[in-house]
Structures are given as C-alpha cells and as structure tokens.
Amino acid sequence: MGKVLADPQKSGRRFFLAATSEELLCASPPRAANTNLIFPGAALSTHRPETKPSAEAGTGGTRTWFGKIFRMKLGAFDSVHIAAPCLLEALYRRESACPQRLEIKPWKAYRDYRDEGYGLLILEGKDWQRVRSAFQKKLMKPGEVVKLDTTVNEVLEDFMHRIDEICDHNGQMEDVYSEFNKWSFESICLVLYGKRFGLLQQDVEEESLNFIKAVKTMMATFGMMMVTPVELHKGLNTKVWQAHTKAWDDIFKTAKHSIDCRLQKHSANPQEDFLCDIYSGGQLSRKELYAAIAELQIAGVETTANSLLWALYNLSRNPHVQQKLFQEIQRVLDAQKSPNAESLRNMPYLKACLKESMRLSPSVPFTTRTIDTEMVLGNYVLPKGTVLMINSHALGCSEEYFRGWAEFRPERWLQRGSIHPFSHVPFGMGKRMCVGRRVAELQLHLALCWLIRKYRIVATDQEPVETLHSGILIPSRALPIAFQPRAGLCWGSAAHCSLSGDLLWGFPTSGTGREQLFVCSSFSHCHTSLILYFNKLSAVPVQYFNRKYPGFCTAHGSGINFISTFCYKFIPTFFDFIPTFSLRDADHKGGNEHRPTAAGNNSQCFV
C-alpha cells in the first residue's frame, strides 16, 4: 500500500535540524512512538517565505519536498505528516467522538504527583468530552464571546499608553516580544481570572512577577523533559523536575486563589460571570476547573502575542495593505469611538489580514492527532496509535492551494469559495479544535484595530526574518518594526499651532494677507526634512500639478499644503520615504477637531 518517495538527502533542499534525523521517509506504515515530544519541530529552524522559497527549507516547504503525506523520525519521535486538504477532510470525517492528541507526559506527571486535576490539554476520552462540553458552551459560542469585548478593550487601552511610554523617538521598543507577551498575559488573565496583574504598569507587584516567572520556568523545564523520559527526572528528583514542580505549585496557587475569589464574588448570580456559569453547570469538579483554566491561560499567552506580532510584521512589509486596513477602520469607527465586537462585524478586510498573516506565519505550525483505530489515508495503512502531525504551515505555503502563496494578499479571503476550507487550520480542526479560538480571535481583531488606528507600523529594515520552531513559530531576531503615531495634520490659525509632540500645519483664515506654514518647535527638524525633500523632488509634483493647475507654486504655503493633502489622501506611502520622519495621519475635517493651545513662542513660521 505504501509508496517509495524520493530521498530528501538528494533533493537539493536544505533541512535544518538541531538533532539527528534518521528515516525521514519510509515506505512502510509507521508505528506509534513512546515519546515526550509535543512537537518534533522543537528542533527545527525554518525560513520565512520571502527568503529564497525555491531553494531554502522550512516546515512550510516539507510538502514540496516529500509529498502530501510522509513519515518523519526525529530520534525516538516517529510521526506521519499530512499536508493536503483532501487528507485533512478524510481524517476529519473519520474522527471518533473523542479524538486523541499527543500525550503531554511532564504535565501529567506533575498532576499525579500533586493529586491535581487534568485540564483539556491532558484529558482524553469521556472525561475530556465532559469538560470540553462545559467550556464550549461559553467559549465557542459567538454570542457569548462578544460579551468579553469590554474586558479585552480595557487592557488594550492601557497597552496603547504603555507603547507610548516605552517607544523611543523612532517608535521602536527595546524588547517588543516581551511587551506583547505582557499584553497577552494581562488580557487573558483578566478574561479567565477576572483580575488585573498590573503587567502594563511601570512598577509591577511581586505576586505578578512571581506568576510570570513561574510560567516561564515551567515552560523551560518542560522543554528539557521533552527529550528525556520524565520518569527519569522524577525518579532521580533532578533539579529540572524540582524546578518544574515548584513552578506548577506557584501557578496553581495563584490560579486557585483567583478562581476562588471570582466564584465567591458571583456566588449569588453565577450566570452573570462566564467562569462561574461554567462551574455552576455541575459538569466538572473544582480540581478540573483549576487545571483547565491554568492550561488555557498558559496555552493562550505566547500564541496570541506571537500571532499579533507576525500580523504587524506582515503589515509593515506591505504598507498598501496596511493603508487599506486603516481606511476600513476609519470608515467603520467614529473618531472618538472604541472598537467593539459589533464594529468588527463590519471589518471584513481586518479579518482577512489576520487570516492571511496566520496562513504565512501560523503561531502553531503543527497540531496533532493520535489515531485510535487503523485507517487508510492517502493510500497508506496507518496502524492504531500512529501520531499524525497536521502541517498547517506547509498548507499555507502551497502554490496548489494558494496561488501566489508568497504574496501577502488578504483579498484572497474575500473571494467566496476560492479557498478549500481544510487548507487553513491554524486553530486545529474538528472536535479538538482550540477551545479558546474565538476568544483569541476577538483579542487579535480588537488589538489590530487599536494598533493600526493609532500607529503606522513601519518596517525598520528590509532584511529577511527567518523563523525558529520551538513548539510555536517565532522570529529568529527581534521583529524590525516601529510604531509611528498617526496624529498631527491640523487646520487652524497661528494662535492654535502648539500641539505637543505633533507636527502641525497652520494657515490663518483671514486678516494676514499671506499664508503661512507653522511647525511646533520641538519638531522643527521635521520641517527641514520635509522642505528639502519637496525641493529635491519638486519637478515631479510641479509637473503633475501644473498640468491640472497652471501657475502652481511649491514655494507658496498653499502649494506645500496642497501637495501634502493630495499625497495624504491618495498616495499615503509617499510620506514613508521622507528621510527623518513620517508625516502623520489626522482627522482634518475642520478647524476645531484637534484644537491645540496658543502658539506663543513655541512655534516657528515659514512663509
């Protein structure tokens, strides 16, 4: 039944492994492996699509080299990769009532050691189905999830202030990955625990720092126990096992306290709180509630932050897409209105941008299944116990399923029926699809809305960013992005030309006999850059505008303003190339929308 495939060693492709790879391909059906590895990709280094897609290797390219179904063996870990929508659909149609995932042995070992409950990532069979059912009623129903938008927005508003505080004059953060993880951590904790941990403040409380430290320690030690038997660590009481146990102790201590307080607070009317409503249904024990919430929190932090960062990176490399997204947000939202679940319904392009980013850069490039009965898939006989790796990264990088796959083109998602539903599975599929999917999407959609509305996300370099696969797909270096505030193009008289921190254009409406350009003194260097740039390229705009407006003069205040206004409306990327600053967007409907204080000596006048 099996097919003999070409040897990847002779394919001319480069495959990066930190561990030895043996039997990458095999014609005979694979057998299940007894392993602690969650993702074999913990040892993989991959490449972004823009880095030589025809010659470089990555998890997204494995389908091209090896086919739609192939066997991979990394050390003791034996698995079968599938990367074709037809195969995923066939697997989905044959799933049992309680599909199995790859066993997470270090977590199970701790729960048994401390007599704690199992959560959704560990439970199997009927117990998993029971607990999943309890959470699914609240977390997978759109009508329930939309009620969390106010909670998510509360953290996002603080995050915008945090970005303003920590960005340098170029709009760059010292550690963008850490800051976005803080946002994600704070957001999911408020949703799950109903508690703020203060991670977006300057001075973070010790309890919050200990909680963060415990999560990081748990994940680090967990990774070490993925490649060696957890029974060995536990039996020898190694330092890794001790640290892992202590970390989980701290996590459960905080989780239990927060959950108990929340249950007590809403004991009279549990239906008014989603967590209390889940528990009041009587489908799960208190131990299972503790475990499930702790696992949801841990699983959601890095994946959500990572997805948002990749989306911003992709938008920074595609400013025309970003501008189109910004225009959609501006069209849907009033100037002073915060986005909410209702407004997101009118933003199809925003959702398409996130889908397109997750196609190219899925935070979780693999999801797993352990089949509980023998089946034939892609002309292969797969025995019971075979570990299947659903390679969503390879699916997204396939020319067969996504024409022009290397292009960041959100419009492809707006064409009904053009994409196979099983070619895009970033949250998994079927009955074991990520239970937090809708909450994560709400967080990501609202976050994109807040960020793109307030900032222009600018690429600080154009060098390729490679990816590393350590369970999730992460960048090999700090993402080269900067946050440039969208503000400052204002209309008004000279008396209204001091707007702290913003570039300001002011034109007296009457009584002066001449038109003037005003710039806040703190940004006077921006004026020089702008004028020099217009002078350097004056032939282009002058020739263009003279054809339509004879006698047009760029030296006149109205001429400069005319160019800036035209480019602002119709050529937004024009301003991205001004040497030392980027002209900022603004709401310039009239003279009073952004009325600043009197200019006095704080402004400079240029005729």
Q: Which residues are annotated as a binding site?
A: 434
Handedness of CA 188, 189, 191, 195 (dihedral sign): negative
Could you tell me if 429 and 92 are in contact, meaning their C-beta atoms sit under 8 angstroms apart? yes
**Nearest-angstrom CA–CA distance, 42 and 368:** 14
With tokens 């999830």, the residue in question is 145
Could you tell me if 64 and 479 are in contact, meaning their C-beta atoms sit under 8 angstroms apart? no
- DSSP bridge pairs for 575: none
Give backbone dihedrals phi and psi of 260, rounded to 5 degrees, phi first.
Answer: -60, -45
With b for 16 or more beta-carbon neighbours within 10 A and e for fewer, the 323-354 pattern comes to bebbebbeebbeeeebbbbebbeebebbbbbb
Q: What count of other Cβ atoms lies within 10 Å of the Cβ of residue 198?
A: 16
**H or E, element range at 341:** helix 341-344
Q: Considering only CA atoms, give the Rg of the chain.
A: 27
- Which residue in 305, 398, 303 sits closest to 360, CA to CA? 398
> What ranges in 31-166 are assigned the alpha helix state H?
62-66, 85-93, 105-114, 125-139, 142-145, 149-166
Could you tell me if 506 and 605 are in contact, meaning their C-beta atoms sit under 8 angstroms apart? no
**Nearest-angstrom CA–CA distance, 319 and 462:** 13
Could you tell me if 347 and 340 are in contact, meaning their C-beta atoms sit under 8 angstroms apart? no
Q: Are strands 387-391 and 77-82 parallel, antiparallel or unpaired?
A: parallel
**H or E, element range at 232:** helix 230-236
With b for 16 or more beta-carbon neighbours within 10 A and e for fewer, the 474-493 pattern comes to bbeebbbbbbbbbbbbbbbb
With b for 16 or more beta-carbon neighbours within 10 A and e for fewer, the 272-297 pattern comes to ebbbbbbbbeebbeebbbbbbbbbbb
> Tokens for 118?
């199992």
Question: Helices 206-224 & 286-316, crossing angle to 10 degrees?
Answer: 90
With tokens 């759109």, the residue in question is 142
Listing DSSP states for 45-74 in one string gives: EE--TTS-TTT---GGGHHHHH-SEEEEEE
DSSP designation for 269: -
Binding residues for heme: 434
Give backbone dihedrals phi and psi of 605, rounded to 5 degrees, phi first.
Answer: -110, 130
